[in-house]
Amino acid sequence: MQVRIGIGYDIHQLKEGRRLILGGVEIPYDKGLLGHSDADVLVHAIADAILGAIGKGDIGEFFPDTDDRFRGISSLVILEDVVAMMHDEGYKVCNIDTIIQVQAPKLSNYKDRMRDNISSVIGISEGCVNIKATTTEGMDAVGRGEAIAAFASVSLVKKE
């Protein structure tokens, strides 16, 4: 069995007047993430981890912020395209582990819906997607409430 591992990371600024989307879930909050797409840092980190595992670079190469076709696009659509690339390379996702760094809002009530969205797009069991959330104890841009960041690790196996 051939196994590949990928890691992903993303961070976006929080700004008033934007919707906060994480894991494809809109979360009520007075700020949202600034970006060309919906700026979903969790899904971006997962997509980058998958691309890394198949040796295909990063999402900026396939979905550049200079291309108006991707303005406001749902990051779940980006993930769908990345999953298609992964399948074309002959792989499937075995496991995903993530961390969202966020000072506020609290995410515990939303993690199940995030997991549902991600597992549905990828076509894997919800039990294969883990989402953790942590603060940075008031340190750095995340701790000051200026940004949200996410890390992802994925393991892929060659399809039989």
Domain that holds residue 109: 3-158
Rg over alpha carbons for the chain, rounded to the nearest Å, is 15
Q: Give the Cα separation of 106 and 134 in Å (integer).
A: 9
The pLDDT, as a whole number, for residue 159 is 87
Residues in the chain: 160
d(CA 121, CA 54): 18
The model scores a pTM over 0.85:
yes
Q: What does the pLDDT read at residue 71?
A: 85
Predicted pLDDT at 1: 66
Count of structural domains within the chain: 1
pLDDT along the chain (160 residues), means of 10: 93 96 97 94 98 95 86 92 97 97 96 98 97 95 96 94
Cα 147 to Cα 6: distance, rounded to the nearest angstrom: 24
- Which CATH number is 22's domain given? 3.30.1330.50
